[in-house]
Structure 1
Amino acid sequence: MNEQELRHLLTSSVEDVLPSQPATAGWERAGRTRRNRRAAGAVALAVALAGGGTVAALRPPDQPVLVPPIASTVTPSAGPRATGPVQRPPAELTFRPDPLARLGDPVTVPLSERPVQRALALFQPLDEEGRADGPVRVLGDDGVVRGLDVVTLAPTRDAGGNEAAALKPGVLSPDGRSAAFPQTGELIMVDLTTAAVRRTPLDGYLELAVWAGDRVLVGGDSRTYAVDRISGAASPIDVSAWDVVAPDPSAGSAAGLVESVGEWGGPKLRSRDAGGGTIRSEQRVSGSALPLPYQVNEFYGRGWLHGQRLAQAAWITSGQIDGAEGVAVLDARTGAVTHLLNLGRERAKGCCPVLGWDGWGAVLLRLEPAALARWNPDTGEITGILRDLRGVIALAG
């Protein structure tokens, strides 16, 4: 065996080694203490992502670069096509180098001193009780982790007094230039490229936000507003902030909205007009393409569109097990389930919310022991992106 072969052997032998003490138990304890905030309550500890893309360099800063620029190492899968619509994750994940892995790095500079050209991700650390444990971190496309110092965010609250972290999936704009944070009685918008802050007064307990073109849809228990990104003008819109699916960023602002209604035993998709939210159509989710007895029982977390494909976490019927964890990919036009990731019943309830899509048609999700994982439903390949990281992550498309 020559030196090159020996080096390859040693590299292969360690690339799948996982941490000896993953933070899974801490995540589960935090989840158990979170009060039920409708069916989407598990999203409070979720991770968010609509991601991928080539990393670009920032404009020259006023001070030396603290972390060298990085280039994306994510590549499309070249594996064989999956043989069936129902798939399962591997026993152990392979973790490849990825720019997002720097989310676990400490803050090195405040955002006010060095704004980003584009943010890849936001991260809010949480303690074991699910409370904020430090400021929101901003990962720029130059690999530098900044601290969000221009605003102090309070936990969101509902009418019952239940609290959750201010950072949630959907708050980071797909272009990575702005962030929208719902707060009680107002929406706080931060321009991450200038560190400027704008506050828009709104009535009610506001908890969730998701970007739809140049608007932010923000709402809570009983109302949703559409807030213009440029002017800050707000108007009510007839759509549920809990059920609305994150639109495909490439679809444009005129594209209609989709809601995934996660009713047990009868989930359905509802399309609405992008302007006022008028209902256009409604269809039940169909599992006719799945082998019996597989079916989708109920959605949870945020759904995400990629073209006409919709990905969302769900509780499923798997074999003889009712209520297993899963992730479904559907045709958003017909409601037909085309692929199903069977995650079994051994994981924590609400373990694996979908975080978005990458640029090559792979679904990004939380998957123990990964904080972020990538699933390509067309090939069945599942790989890790970021190992256990206690907190909430929102990523740009």
Structure 2
Amino acid sequence: MRREDIQPLLYQAADRVPEPDLADAAWADGVATRRRRRRNVLIALLTVLGIAVGAAIGFGVSGSRSAELVPPPTTPTLPQGYLPPAGQIAGIDYWVAPPAGSERFLDRLYTPLGDRLRLPDDPDSLSEHRLENLAAVVLEERGGRYDALLLGEDSSWARADLQLRKIRTGSPLSSGAISPDGRFAAFPQPGELVIVDVTTAEVFRFTLPSQDVSSVSWLPTAERILVSGPGVAYRVVVGEGGDGEKPVTAIPSARNPASITAPYRMDSGAVLRYLVNGEYSLDSELQLPVRTWVGQTFSTYTMTARLFIANDIQQVPTKSSQPQVVAAISTLRALRSSLLVLGETDPSTPGTADPAHVREPGCCAVLGWYDDYKPLILVRGWVLAWDVRTGKVQRVTELAVDGVALGPGIRP
């Protein structure tokens, strides 16, 4: 083959191969390059975003853990009308009540008792005018016997269809007379317990082994009632929940009959819880400067209250009498206890010779609770309410009767 024949042969072979489109190849290569650049940029952005999210999560977790270890400071919200306590007695905050003689100037707490509780003129018989929820019971002495006058939650009166006899201590009205459901009123009598149902006007009588009983206190279910006198105490089944239990069962007594209460009693330096067998167990100890307890113990679901005459209290010096203190003790560890010292008027103050300005020992006692936070307190000629959350004292009613027992109907 000659040299000059090679070139024609190469042209002939190349003619069978398709001619490449260089523009398309360049475009395709450019698109691929742009896609690679976009993918790289997207990967970089996602990496940066992932790092940022991880850092934020880590900071949040660290912050929450720090918050658990060191909680931010908060300012507690005080209830409306809060009054700061005057100090502490035995580690418990105490307030000093307005002095005797100032009761009529206190703010009033409105109840069915009215501004002044007095005997009604001519109430209907309970058999003719039955009541739904007792607010109060008072007694009227007539001819050596007592009539029971019953006040309902609607402020209407009825006279029970029975006459009560005098007991050794005088009037047969105990401060714990009204059942927790406001349906029954119970009266200690020589050798018996008399109960009236205000919804039906029925009267029930239970014979007791002792002729000398003076105090009654209902159990929370209103199926049983505790009756006590000097050196004796009984549990009486008055409902249908006896389950074979004896109608009258002797239980351990106390030196002071008013100490036999349920579900709690404050006595002998402790809060004691009532047990189904009639005995008491220790709920908490008290370190209060008690000389003697006065009246009954009344309880709510969270607190129990009773009044005591104190030994000399250094924090609250008195001039004319021993200090008297209402102890509202919490039965839940999460709630605080409180004390109210009944103030006295300085004897040198003009006009204080009036007996209304004197609170001698025995003049005062707890009568019950208005609600879960306000114990009701009997003072000379008045019923007061004390809010244990704020320390504020209000007047409930002025008394024109010799004694009163209060019930749940006192609440609106």
Shorter-normalised TM range: 0.5 to 0.7
Cα gap change, 1:186/1:338 in structure 2, threshold over 3 Å: closer, same or farther?
A: same
Distance 1:366 1:176 in 2: 20
Cα gap change, 1:337/1:323 in structure 2, threshold over 3 Å: closer, same or farther?
A: farther
Q: Which residue of 1 aligns with 2:292?
A: 298
2:366 aligned to which of 354, 358, 370 = 354
Cα distance per residue 1:107-148 (max 9 Å; x no partner): 431112211122211112479xxx978622111122211112
Q: Which residue of 1 aligns with 2:13?
A: none
Cα gap change, 1:382/1:109 in structure 2, threshold over 3 Å: closer, same or farther?
A: same
Cα gap change, 1:246/1:78 in structure 2, threshold over 3 Å: closer, same or farther?
A: farther
Asked whether the equivalents of residues 308 and 326 of structure 2 are also in contact (C-alpha less than 8 Å), the reply is yes
Cα gap change, 1:382/1:187 in structure 2, threshold over 3 Å: closer, same or farther?
A: same
1:208 aligned to which of 199, 202, 215 = 215
The more displaced of 373-382 and 339-348 is 339-348
What is the identity, as a one-letter code, of the residue corresponding to 1:245? T
Cα gap change, 1:172/1:282 in structure 2, threshold over 3 Å: closer, same or farther?
A: closer
Greater share of helix: 2
Cα distance per residue 1:205-249 (max 9 Å; x no partner): 2211110021011121122211112258222223544313343xx
Q: Which residue of 1 aligns with 2:234?
A: 225
Distance 1:333 1:95 in 2: 30
- Count of aligned pairs between the two proteins: 288
Distance 1:151 1:186 in 2: 14
Q: Which residue of 2 aligns with 1:13?
A: none
Q: Which residue of 2 aligns with 1:309?
A: 303
> How does the TM-score come out when normalised to structure 2?
0.63
What is the identity, as a one-letter code, of the residue corresponding to 1:206? V
Q: Tell me by how many angstroms 1:338 deviates.
A: 2.7
- SS of match in other structure, 2:218: strand
Q: Which residue of 2 aligns with 1:192?
A: 198
Q: Tell me by how many angstroms 1:298 deviates.
A: 2.7
Tell me, which stretches of 5 or more residues in structure 1 are unaligned? 1-76, 158-162, 248-257, 288-294
Task: Confirm whether residue 165 of structure 1 aligns to residue 178 of structure 2.
Answer: no
Tell me, which stretches of 5 or more residues in structure 2 are unaligned? 1-78, 87-92, 345-357
- SS of match in other structure, 2:404: strand
Q: Which residue of 2 aligns with 1:14?
A: none
Point out the structure with max Rg over C-alpha: 2
Task: Confirm whether residue 113 of structure 1 aligns to residue 132 of structure 2.
Answer: no
Q: CA RMSD in A?
A: 2.8
Q: Tell me by how many angstroms 1:348 deviates.
A: 2.1
Distance 1:154 1:337 in 2: 43
Task: Confirm whether residue 237 of structure 1 aligns to residue 251 of structure 2.
Answer: yes
Distance 1:133 1:384 in 2: 31
Task: Confirm whether residue 87 of structure 1 aligns to residue 95 of structure 2.
Answer: yes
Question: Identity rate of aligned residues, in percent?
Answer: 26
Cα gap change, 1:283/1:383 in structure 2, threshold over 3 Å: closer, same or farther?
A: closer
What is the identity, as a one-letter code, of the residue corresponding to 1:384? R
Q: Tell me by how many angstroms 1:278 deviates.
A: 3.4
What is the identity, as a one-letter code, of the residue corresponding to 1:270? L
Asked whether the equivalents of residues 294 and 306 of structure 2 are also in contact (C-alpha less than 8 Å), the reply is yes
Distance 2:260 2:336 in 1: 18
Q: Which residue of 2 aligns with 1:122?
A: 137
Q: Tell me by how many angstroms 1:337 deviates.
A: 8.6
What is the identity, as a one-letter code, of the residue corresponding to 1:147? R
Cα gap change, 1:389/1:82 in structure 2, threshold over 3 Å: closer, same or farther?
A: farther
Q: Which residue of 2 aligns with 1:35?
A: none
Q: Which residue of 2 aligns with 1:66?
A: none
Q: Which residue of 1 aligns with 2:270?
A: 268
Kindly report which structure 2 residues correspond to 1:1-397, keeping only aligned pairs within 5 A, or say none.
Answer: 78-84=80-86, 85-90=93-98, 91=102, 92-101=105-114, 103-104=117-118, 105-125=120-140, 135-148=147-160, 150-157=161-168, 163-204=169-210, 205-212=212-219, 213=221, 214-231=223-240, 233-240=247-254, 241-247=257-263, 258-262=264-268, 267-273=269-275, 275-281=276-282, 284-287=285-288, 295-316=289-310, 317-318=312-313, 319-321=316-318, 323-332=322-331, 338-344=337-343, 346-370=358-382, 372-397=383-408
> How does the TM-score come out when normalised to structure 1?
0.65
Higher relative contact order (CA 8 A, sep 6+): 1
Q: Tell me by how many angstroms 1:184 deviates.
A: 1.1
What is the identity, as a one-letter code, of the residue corresponding to 2:296? R
